[in-house]
Amino acid sequence: MPEVKTRQLAIETRSKLGLQSTEHFDVNRAVSSLGITCIKRSLESNISGATLKTNKVKIILVNSSKTLGHQNFTIAHEIYHCLYDKNLVNKVCKAESFDRASDNEQIADGFATHLLMPEDAIFNQLRLRKRLDVMLTLADIVNLEQFFGVSRKAMCRRLEDLKLITRELNESCCTNVIQSARSLGKSTELYLPTHENLIISDYAEKAAEALQRNLITESRYEEILADAGLFEQVMGMAEEEDVTD
């Protein structure tokens, strides 16, 4: 799929959600609005995420043992599989593996990049900071990644692709990530695992409402998925393959 097509799909997805090209993309709000169930679990496996799509349900499993920025990219990556991957079968997907991924996974990575970090939004943020047409610094990069909710690695790669930073600056900024953010007075939440056990969904709306109102337990909500054989399949997918970054 050409780069222009991947970018167009990301624009169309944002449009469905009523988002302008300069706005922050909230992945949790997006999956609910798009009718996707997102299950966050702290997994011993090194997988980033997995997707299961049937005629009735779209489910994303996200490894919350990864950093929050990595999780956000994973969800955006898996949104591509849920909405646009016509050849999707039950499988484990590894997000943010730009250099070694299969063609289909690179397409999903490209989609996630445009979905989370549109060019318009990057230049708008730099304009607001009066940092257009100047050499970007570490402080600029940290401010951008905090706005977009992505990892340092993903932000630097995006900026390098847009020729806004050099490869040398990319490499130098991707070390001591937490320390550098802290030194600039920024929250380090983005760079740490969350270890959440969380379900984000509008599937089986009444059950979701009951869960939120504490009328049923989370285990009962999972039983709703299990009744369709979905939860076990997704968790099974997480155990099938172990990959590392």
Length of the chain: 245
Residue in this structure with the two tokens 């996974």, named with its chain if needed: 105
Handedness of CA 234, 237, 238, 244 (dihedral sign): negative
Residue 125: name the closest of 84, 98, 100, 159 by CA. 159
Phi/psi at 94 (5° precision)? -105, 115
**Whether residue 144 has pLDDT greater than 70:** yes
The pLDDT tens digits for 107-119 are 999 999 999 999 9
Bridge-partner residues for 92, per DSSP?
50
CA neighbours within 13 Å on the CB side: how many for 78?
A: 36
Residue in this structure with the two tokens 């304009």, named with its chain if needed: 127
In angstroms, the first-to-last Cα distance of the chain is: 24
The pLDDT tens digits for 19-70 are 999 999 999 999 989 989 898 999 888 889 888 887 777 889 999 999 999 9
Q: From CA 221, how far away is CA 217, in angstroms rounded?
A: 6
Q: What is the largest CA-CA distance in the chain?
A: 57
Q: From CA 74, how far away is CA 112, in angstroms rounded?
A: 8
Name the residue type at position 237. Answer: M
Pairing label, strands 91-93, 49-53: antiparallel
138-148 helix and 119-128 helix, angle to the nearest 10 degrees: 120
- Helix extents (H) in 117-185: 119-128, 138-148, 152-161, 167-173, 177-183
Q: From CA 225, how far away is CA 214, in angstroms rounded?
A: 18
pLDDT band at 101; cut points 50, 70, 90: low
Q: Which two tokens stand for residue 159?
A: 């900026």
Residue in this structure with the two tokens 């049923």, named with its chain if needed: 216
Rounded to the nearest 10 degrees, how much is the dihedral formed by the CA atoms of 100, 148, 192, 91?
-40
Name the residue type at position 185. Answer: G
The pLDDT tens digits for 189-241 are 999 999 998 888 765 555 666 667 776 677 876 776 565 445 555 555 555 44
